[in-house]
């Protein structure tokens, strides 16, 4: 009989702590309006680095460290990737960033996920949306976003690691103006 009590106690405790970490991450996300960070991005084994600023909802500006002066900008509707020699514009809704840059979407997904990965350093939530597999990673220490991984409709694996994360810095709206093609 004791074994059953112990089993139910452990089951209740692990469910309670699981619900607690999810609730804590959601509470932390609700307080965040903007995030600035350094990043390392690996797309199909090609590594790029730089600095980004996200402003919720759905705005991002990234300046890459590469010599081609690459920038990535979303104004919430369109996504532009510009280098010295190229200029690409996409509807944001056609990219996995549509979901990663939508704090309310992430909160809703986390609320509705019962199965996720957690270890001593991070918590990971996996979900599927519009033919995209998306994993979102949070620090277990401070509950901040520390990265994401996507597999897009073309089966490209993209992993982005965040470091030197700063929360709720003042961000000027003009940062998210789409660059000219020139």
Question: What integer pLDDT is reported at residue 14 of this predicted model?
Answer: 39
Q: What CATH number is associated with residue 140? A: 2.50.20.10
Q: Tokens representing 156?
A: 């490209």
Q: What is the pLDDT of residue 19?
A: 72
pLDDT score of 6: 34
Domain assignment of residue 7, yes or no: no
Does a structural domain hold residue 120? yes
Determine whether 43 is exposed, middle or buried from the number of CB atoms within 10 Å of its CB (0-12, 13-18, 19+): middle
129 domain-assigned: yes
Contact present, 14 and 139 (Cβ < 8 Å): no
Asked, for residue 8, whether it belongs to a domain, the answer is no
pTM (predicted TM-score): 0.86
In a domain, 96, yes or no: yes
Q: State how far the Cα of 3 lies from the Cα of 11, in Å rounded to an integer.
A: 12
Q: Is residue 141 part of a domain?
A: yes
| Positions of the chain with pLDDT under 50 | 1-16
User: Is residue 26 situated within a structural domain?
Assistant: yes
Range of the domain at 60: 20-176
- Backbone φ, ψ for residue 52 (5° rounding): -130, 160
- Strand arrangement, sheet containing 46-55: 87-91, 78-82, 71-75, 59-64, 46-55, 34-43, 157-167, 145-151, 132-139, 122-129, 117-118
- Number of Cβ atoms within 10 Å of the Cβ of 8: 10
Determine the Cα–Cα distance for residues 71 and 178; give it in Å rounded to an integer: 10
Q: Structural domain tally of the chain?
A: 1
């Amino acid at each position: 009989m004791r074994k059953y009590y112990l089993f139910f106690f452990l089951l209740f405790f692990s469910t309670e702590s699981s619900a607690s970490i999810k609730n804590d991450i959601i509470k932390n996300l609700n307080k965040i309006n903007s995030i600035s960070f350094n990043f390392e991005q690996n797309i199909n084994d090609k590594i790029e680095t730089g600095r980004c600023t996200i402003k919720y909802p759905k705005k991002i500006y990234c300046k890459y460290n590469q010599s081609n002066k690459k920038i990535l900008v979303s104004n919430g509707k369109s996504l532009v990737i510009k280098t010295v020699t190229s200029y690409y514009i996409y509807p944001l809704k056609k990219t996995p960033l549509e979901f990663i840059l939508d704090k309310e979407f992430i909160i809703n997904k986390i609320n509705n996920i019962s199965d996720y990965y957690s270890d001593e350093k991070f918590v990971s939530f996996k979900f599927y949306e519009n033919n995209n597999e998306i994993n979102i990673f949070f620090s277990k220490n401070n509950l901040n976003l520390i990265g994401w991984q996507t597999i897009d409709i073309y089966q490209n694996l993209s992993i982005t690691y965040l470091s030197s994360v700063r929360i709720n810095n003042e961000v000027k709206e003009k940062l998210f103006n789409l660059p000219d093609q020139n």
